[in-house]
């Protein structure tokens, strides 16, 4: 059993209670409110994508009040709200069972450009969640039914599936939430959405057309699919759409292709395992809990005497380096003989294979010495020492490294998270310039017989005013806390007095009135030539294996323009924030990446690579560039699209009222 193929739906905590099904379950970094959802305490969480800022998050728990399982999915770094964005959830009665009794639920959360909405001529206005900072507007729309939801059951004749309508539709409660995160002026707009769905565990509550899920292990597969248009297209794709997919189990080669209808193929070998401990015999005989990293990717890094407790990417050639992994054990028994193996790659997009990354020469011991990770969730550390005198010159010249840590044990240990890679670093602006390597190692040969892989780079920039983190009652969440602590507590020109990073940040807003954090993320995807057809559109499936790299950048000057650029061979510009890149098969391409914040500087993507040729440049649904700044970043165009139906009805009512008054 491992974190890549097993999820545990433990009972919700008896003190914090069961989750509320309204579409909200995760505090997104930079989206600041006083909302909280404690209902997933004790449940499982899985994040997808490599960097430190996962584009997709899953959480699962068993609701003790209804006895149902609650699945929650968050998707962000989406360029637009597309009506074909979808979560595909497939289940079988038992993990090792045949494929005859499977069920599938396809959930489409959003309406085009609007996000969550209720059908009808008026639509709904945006919500205003409690605690939103003054001047901010995230255009939140919560507690909505999905745009569409389709149910399928196994059909073992001509097609794999038959569509059906549940006899007890109320057993499958589904709610959606959408929002626009805060982005820097001139940067691509970003859309985000989340789904919560309540799923019955048996025919007793789900109806005669449902299935009985085995508590000891039921079959589970899901894919979170983001659809976009025109930025990833080529002459081989009819509709100029692309599809990025984040899947459980986390194994290569299990992406959905073909048609999202009754003919969709989900290979029987793709299913992982879901556990329901409270219903097992004996109860809780298989919890699926165990050892994991504290704070995910930000729980690994390099520690040096000059930086104190801060973990970073930077390898020093003049100081001793301690490569650290911070672990905890959520299980009920101590985990013995746990070791951590460290591999490195130059900052950028490394190979998708762990063994393709370099074992640091001179790092000792590697794997680390065995430790015991005690039960109960307390943090412990593994570390390996890399002394200054043993670091090769090549590493000193590329001191910013991507770090991949893989855990193992010679004892019977369950790993709730056995591997993590970190490509995220903390920096101070005003200007940073650094090489980034994009690897073509570890992929099958290009299907066209050529010598290069086609990559696509998607860049997003969130802008977070530090003074807003100090707002009264603001709930930051673990992710935002880790980013803020790393960026603000690092050595820099300003001290950090009166700041306490806890569940709620406490500090003097006046002291931080001119400090801003930029969360700069570049996702990398490899074009595959495979396609997925949803309704009337056909999208090219992109390989998410390359992962992402990024910065959390601190700057003093809240209104200073922020910009970035890429330079290097094989780059083409598809639109601001989207670039194509040719990478040699089994080779690397090195880019020069520059970030800058300056009161007299430009905004947004200032790369000068030549424009891409052929179709797929720009287009109606390829994403827009923000004309605002910070939390008020939504464009006027998007505001009109989101509110047009509501205001149009209001105008009609006013006209009708005026006509009546004139009679």
For residue 70, what is the DSSP state? E
CA distances from 219 to 58, 201, 328, 351 (A): 17, 12, 28, 30
pLDDT digits (tens, 9 = 90+) for 88-99: 999 999 987 676
- 455, 526 contact by CB (below 8 A): yes
Chain-centre distance of CA 176, in angstroms? 17
pTM of the shown model: 0.86
Q: Is 333 exposed, middle or buried (0-12, 13-18, 19+ CB in 10 A)?
A: middle
Q: Does residue 503 sit in helix, strand or coil? A: coil
DSSP line for 341-374: EEEEEESEE--SSGGGSBPPTT-BSSSPPPEEE-
Percent of the chain beyond pLDDT 70? Answer: 87
Give the pLDDT of residue 306.
78
User: Considering the chain, what is the average pLDDT of its residues?
Assistant: 86
Domain boundaries, the chain: 6-288, 292-415, 427-493+513-605
Structure-block tokens of residue 45: 């969480």
Q: Under 8 Å CB-to-CB from 544, ≥6 apart: which residues?
A: 48, 49, 244, 245, 246, 525
Instruction: Give the CA radius of gyration of the chain.
Output: 25
Cα 364 from Cα 344, distance rounded (Å): 14
User: CB count, 10 Å around CB of 313?
Assistant: 22
Q: Half-sphere exposure of 258 toward its Cβ, with a 13 Å CA cutoff?
A: 14
- 149 touches 107 (CB < 8 A): yes
Q: For residues 527 and 545, what is the distance between their CA atoms, to the nearest angstrom? A: 11
Count Cβ atoms below 10 Å from residue 169 Cβ, excluding itself: 12
| Cis status, amide bond into 123, omega within 30 of 0 | no
User: pLDDT for 300-324, tens place per residue?
Assistant: 988 988 777 778 878 888 889 999 9
User: What secondary structure letter does DSSP report for 308?
Assistant: T
d(CA 300, CA 322): 11
- What is the three-class DSSP state of 307? helix
Q: Which of 18-27, 306-315, 451-460 is predicted with the least confidence, judged by mean pLDDT?
A: 306-315
Residue 204: other Cβ atoms inside 10 A:
11
In tens, the pLDDT along 414-439 reads: 888 888 888 887 778 888 999 999 99
**How far apart (Å, rounded) are the C-alpha atoms in residues 471 and 512?**
11
- Record the tokens describing residue 355, joined without a space: 């063994």
Class at the top of the CATH hierarchy for domain 292-415 = mainly beta
pLDDT-above-90 percentage for the chain: 60
Tell me the helix, strand and coil percentages in the chain, rounded to 5.
Answer: 10, 40, 50
């Amino acid at each position: 059993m491992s974190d890549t193929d097993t999820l545990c739906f433990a009972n919700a905590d008896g003190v914090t209670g069961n989750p509320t099904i309204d579409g909200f379950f995760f505090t997104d970094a930079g989206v600041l409110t006083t909302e909280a959802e404690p209902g997933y305490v004790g449940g499982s969480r899985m994040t997808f994508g490599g960097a430190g800022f996962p584009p997709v998050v899953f959480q699962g728990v068993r609701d003790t009040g209804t006895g149902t399982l609650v699945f929650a999915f968050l998707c962000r770094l989406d360029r637009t709200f597309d009506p074909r964005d979808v979560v595909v959830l497939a289940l079988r009665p038992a993990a090792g069972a045949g494929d005859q009794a499977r069920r599938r639920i396809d959930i489409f959360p959003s309406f085009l450009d609007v996000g969550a909405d209720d059908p009808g001529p008026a639509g709904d206005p945006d919500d205003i969640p409690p605690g939103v900072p003054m001047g901010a507007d995230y255009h939140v729309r919560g507690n909505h039914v999905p745009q569409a939801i389709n149910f399928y059951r196994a059909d073992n004749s001509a097609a794999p599936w038959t569509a059906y309508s549940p006899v007890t539709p109320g057993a499958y409660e589904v709610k959606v939430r959408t929002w626009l995160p805060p982005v820097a002026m001139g940067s691509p707009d970003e859309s985000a959405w989340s789904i919560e769905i309540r799923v019955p565990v048996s025919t007793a509550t789900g109806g005669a057309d449902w299935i009985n899920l085995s508590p000891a292990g039921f079959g589970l597969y899901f894919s979170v699919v983001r659809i976009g248009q025109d930025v990833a297209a080529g002459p081989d794709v009819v509709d100029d759409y692309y599809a990025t997919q984040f899947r459980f189990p986390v194994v290569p080669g299990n992406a959905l292709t073909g048609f999202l209808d009754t003919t969709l193929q989900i290979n029987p070998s793709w299913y992982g395992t879901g556990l329901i401990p409270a219903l097992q015999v004996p109860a809780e005989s298989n919890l699926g809990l165990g050892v994991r990293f504290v704070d995910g990717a930000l729980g690994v890094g390099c520690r040096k005497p000059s930086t104190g407790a801060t973990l970073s990417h930077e390898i020093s050639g003049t100081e001793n380096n301690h490569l650290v992994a911070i672990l905890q054990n959520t299980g009920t028994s101590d985990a013995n003989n746990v070791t951590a193996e460290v591999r490195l790659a130059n900052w950028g997009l490394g190979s998708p294979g762990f063994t393709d990354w370099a074992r640091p020469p001179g790092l000792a011991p590697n794997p680390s010495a065995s430790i015991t990770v005690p039960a109960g969730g307390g943090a412990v550390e593994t570390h390996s020492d890399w002394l200054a005198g043993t670091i090769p010159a090549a590493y000193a010249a590329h001191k910013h490294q991507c770090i991949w840590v893989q855990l193992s044990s010679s004892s019977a240990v369950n790993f709730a998270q056995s591997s993590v890679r970190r490509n995220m670093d903390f920096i101070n602006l005003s200007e940073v310039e650094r090489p980034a390597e994009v690897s073509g190692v570890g992929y099958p040969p290009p299907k066209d017989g050529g010598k290069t892989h086609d990559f696509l780079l998607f860049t997003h920039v969130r802008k977070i005013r530090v003074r807003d983190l100090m707002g009264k009652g603001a709930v930051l969440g673990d992710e935002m806390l880790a980013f803020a602590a790393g960026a603000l507590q690092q050595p820099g020109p300003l001290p950090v007095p009166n700041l306490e990073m806890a569940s709620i940040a406490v500090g003097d807003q006046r002291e931080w009135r001119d400090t801003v954090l930029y969360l700069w993320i570049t996702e990398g995807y490899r074009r595959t030539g495979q396609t997925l057809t949803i309704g009337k559109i056909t999208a090219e499936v992109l390989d998410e294996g390359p992962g992402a790299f990024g910065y959390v950048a601190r700057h003093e000057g809240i209104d200073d323009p922020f910009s970035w650029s890429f330079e290097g061979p094989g780059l083409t510009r598809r639109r601001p924030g989207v670039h194509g890149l040719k990478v040699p098969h089994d080779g690397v391409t090195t880019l020069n990446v520059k970030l800058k914040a300056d009161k007299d500087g430009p905004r947004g993507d200032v790369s000068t690579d030549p424009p891409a040729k052929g179709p797929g440049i720009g287009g109606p649904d390829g994403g827009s560039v923000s004309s605002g700044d910070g939390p008020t970043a939504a464009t006027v165009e998007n505001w009109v699209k989101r509110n047009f139906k509501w205001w149009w009805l209001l105008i009609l009512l006013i006209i009708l009222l005026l006509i009546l008054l004139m009679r």
